[in-house]
Amino acid sequence: MMKRKSILMLTAFITLMSSTVICQDVQSTKVNSRDNNPSRRYLRPSLTIIYLNRGGTLADRMQVLFEKYSVPAKYNDHNVATRTIRVDDLKGNIQEGQLKDFLSRKVSREIVAKWFNRNDKGEFNMDLIADRGMYNATDADVIKAKASERKMALLQDAGENLLDRSYILVYDVKKILTADEYARLRGLPSEEEGYYALYDCYLFKLDWTDSVAAVFYNNLWNDSFSFDPARVEAFNKTAFPIVFVDKVSNAFGYVSSAQYKDHSRNILGSLSDDQLFARLFSKIVDEADTQLAQRNEDFKVKIPVFSTQPIQAKIGLKEGLSVDKRFFVYEFEINSKGEKKAVRKGVVRASNKIVDNRGIATGQTEPSKFYQVAGRKLYQGMLMQESPDWGLALTFGYGSTAGVVGEGLSVMLEANTSLYVGKVAHSYPPGIKIYVMGNLATSTFILDVNQNPNDPTNPEFSIYSYSGGISKDINFLRNFVLVPFVGYGVETYTNIADGMDKDKYESTFLEAGARLGMNLRYNIQLLATYSLNPIISTDFESKNEIPSLTKEQLDLFKDQRKSGQLTIGLRFQF
């Protein structure tokens, strides 16, 4: 270890000669591109999380949660003494430039000091870097190291590469509203309790270049063998370079954690005020983390396909793997210009067979299992790259969607519960979704075959229905999916014929059936739905002197419910 350090220090001396400080003279390198770049080597990122407190009771309450927050298992925990920035510490409107300057002046030393285990006297050592190098190693790294002359010391030294994956997240929760305040802002009645919030999340990185490392070892390094008080003082005045990487904000408008004040309307049960506030915090950090992983290459886990029957890879809880997390699978090909290019060959998701690999790799780690949802046949050795999604799907359909009379349009929104519940319950089944669906149709109902179809007294119904339920995606043959479902709905027929608009027929029903989908693209499917919708209850209301429907005609509505319903549509997943 000392020999390696001496060589590096000699190289630094030759390279920089009389350099004595780090600061503006050290040039920042280009930060990892946000463009998809599967060929970039994956190294375990380290996170320093800081909360920007804008003042106020709710902001202070949020600060408590951030200061207790544990860095997700996917990252190395690199939190330092500075966990909060007060808005008074910054001047003017909050911008990345101000934050970058503050972090460089006030926080960068803490980050570097933690990397090198600096003690109260000002001495450094390589213990944490060595430990993280070992923890970062995969089975392939371990096997390769054991075959080398230096063996496991090679993995310890490799930990130094992790310094260039040292990231800082600054959460700026700009506004927190109670549900009452939010309702007043929107001009709506106040029926909810809970919270709404707006946030920005800034991503920065310690710019640990070869030049910065050389200056550090040459001018600032101190240990028990060569202690120099002047270097202690020099380190205390050094501002290490920080670079801005990215900024994400609310993905779906306000982040909300609210429920009905009338607790009898909360189908899944009611939460306390503290639980609602904690859920708001969790939604902020989960939403920001998903966006950052979608947009920044270093946050995307990468690993070779270990086997294909079933699809397996040697990652697990250490890499933050959870049920239904999505991965793209790439094969590297040489194009006509002789350039190596990553070509996506398939899409897989994690099953609930996830390995707890939170330890140092031995070369014999068990793999986790995945299932394919799109693409071609996959082969061992292809590269799997994490590609997070929101677990949402929107389907637009046409057919006998509104049930008993005529055809119409339907819109369905699905949410993948496995993607969220699976983060804490690793045995939760994959592909479990909840859905809500709305339908619209207009139909003319002829009472008598001998009746003039143009008679304005004929009932003409505007038909609305909505339903909700639970479904499960069952993927097969790589590009097909079968989705059995069961749910409950309400359907309303309003007579819109002239003078008859006070007639309304309503029914509640169960729905059960299956959807069959075929991939047009990895995230777009052609979907056919067949369902049976037996009626539970009916109600006919008429304020006209002569109702437009007789009992016999109402019975006809019920009878037609006995036939199945077919819908064809497009499903967009994101």
9 and 87 both lie in a single domain: yes
Lowest mean pLDDT among 23-37, 90-104, 280-294: 23-37
Instruction: Give Cα separations from 535 to 250, 427, 563 (angstroms).
Output: 41, 36, 12
282 and 367 both lie in a single domain: no
Which token pair is 554?
């109402």
| 101-144 pLDDT tens trace | 999 999 999 999 999 999 999 999 999 999 999 999 888 888 77
282 and 343 both lie in a single domain: no
| 188-247 pLDDT tens trace | 999 999 999 999 999 999 999 999 999 999 999 999 888 999 999 999 999 999 999 999
- Say how far apart CA 488 and CA 502 lie, in whole Å: 26
- Under DSSP, the state recorded for 165 is G
pLDDT at residue 357 in the model: 94
- Residue 325: inside a domain, yes or no? yes
Look at residue 18 and tell me whether its pLDDT is greater than 60.
no
Which residues are CB-neighbours of 420 under 8 A, at least 6 positions away?
Answer: 286, 391
Q: How many helices (H) and strands (E) does the chain have?
A: 13, 24
235 and 181 both lie in a single domain: yes
- Per-position DSSP letters for 37-86, written without gaps between them: -TTSPP---EEEEEEEE-SSHHHHHHHHHHHHPPPPTTSEE---S--EEE
560: phi > 0 → left, psi -120 to 50 → alpha, else beta; which? alpha
320 and 203 both lie in a single domain: no
338: phi > 0 → left, psi -120 to 50 → alpha, else beta; which? left
DSSP3 helix / strand / coil % (the chain, rounded to 5):
25, 35, 35
pLDDT at residue 12 in the model: 39
Burial class (CB in 10 A: 0-12, 13-18, 19+), 181: middle
Average pLDDT (469-497) is 91
With b meaning 16 or more CB within 10 Å and e meaning fewer, what string describes 64-100?
ebbeebebeebbbebbbeeeebeeeeeeeebebeebb
Give the CATH number, domain containing residue 482.
Answer: 2.40.160.70
242 and 352 both lie in a single domain: no
pLDDT at residue 440 in the model: 81
Average pLDDT (264-285) is 94
Hunting for tokens 């029914």 — which residue is that? Answer: 507
237 and 151 both lie in a single domain: yes
- Residue 108: inside a domain, yes or no? yes
65 and 172 both lie in a single domain: yes
| 484-518 pLDDT tens trace | 999 999 888 777 766 555 677 788 889 999 999 99
Which residues are CB-neighbours of 427 under 8 A, at least 6 positions away?
Answer: 352
| 518-542 pLDDT tens trace | 999 999 999 999 998 888 887 777 6
Look at residue 164 and tell me whether its pLDDT is greater than 50.
yes
Q: Identify whether 534 is preceded by a cis peptide bond (ω within 30 of 0).
A: no
Lowest mean pLDDT among 210-224, 333-347, 394-408, 447-461: 447-461
Supply the range of the domain harboring residue 146: 2-30+43-295
Which residues are CB-neighbours of 231 under 8 A, at least 6 positions away?
Answer: 122, 219, 220, 221, 222
- Say how far apart CA 237 and CA 253 lie, in whole Å: 42
Instruction: Indicate the residue among 351, 386, 421 that finishes a domain.
Output: 386
- Residue 485: inside a domain, yes or no? yes
Which residues are CB-neighbours of 437 under 8 A, at least 6 positions away?
Answer: 410, 411, 412, 413, 466, 467, 468, 487, 489
Cβ proximity of 346 and 331 under 8 Å: no
Average pLDDT score over the chain: 86
Instruction: Indicate the residue among 334, 351, 386 that finishes a domain.
Output: 386
- Say how far apart CA 154 and CA 130 lie, in whole Å: 9
The two beta strands, 242-249 and 192-206, are antiparallel
336 and 461 both lie in a single domain: no
Share of the chain above pLDDT 90, in %: 66
With b meaning 16 or more CB within 10 Å and e meaning fewer, what string describes 343-369?
ebbbbbbbbbbbbebeeebeeebebbb
pLDDT at residue 163 in the model: 94
Look at residue 465 and tell me whether its pLDDT is greater than 70.
yes
pLDDT at residue 8 in the model: 41
* Amino acid at site 4: R
Instruction: Give the residue from 422, 355, 346, 428 showing the smallest Cα distance to 387.
Output: 346
pLDDT at residue 419 in the model: 96
In the sheet that holds 311-313, the strands lie side by side as 302-304, 383-386, 326-334, 340-350, 368-375, 311-313, 307-308
Average pLDDT (551-574) is 76
- Say how far apart CA 317 and CA 294 lie, in whole Å: 19
Which token pair is 509?
């029903």
| 288-299 pLDDT tens trace | 999 999 999 999
Looking at per-residue pLDDT, the higher value among 196 and 36 belongs to: 196
Cβ proximity of 536 and 508 under 8 Å: yes
Which residues are CB-neighbours of 186 under 8 A, at least 6 positions away?
Answer: none
Give CA angle at 486 (388, 369), nearest 5°: 35
- Residue 35: inside a domain, yes or no? no
554 and 530 both lie in a single domain: yes
pLDDT band at 361 (very low <50, low <70, confident <90, very high): confident
- Say how far apart CA 137 and CA 158 lie, in whole Å: 9
Look at residue 283 and tell me whether its pLDDT is greater than 70.
yes
Cβ proximity of 417 and 340 under 8 Å: no
241 and 337 both lie in a single domain: no
Burial class (CB in 10 A: 0-12, 13-18, 19+), 392: middle
- Sign of the C-alpha dihedral computed for residues 404, 492, 512 and 467 taken in this order: positive
Share of the chain above pLDDT 70, in %: 82
| 23-32 pLDDT tens trace | 333 333 445 5
169 and 227 both lie in a single domain: yes
Q: What is the largest CA-CA distance in the chain?
A: 107
Total domain count, the chain: 3
- Sign of the C-alpha dihedral computed for residues 60, 62, 65 and 66 taken in this order: negative
Instruction: Indicate the residue among 295, 320, 337 that finishes a domain.
Output: 295
pLDDT at residue 206 in the model: 97
- Per-position DSSP letters for 113-137, written without gaps between them: HHHTT--TTS---SHHHHHHHHHH-
Phi, psi of 266 (to 5 degrees): -85, 95
pLDDT at residue 27 in the model: 33
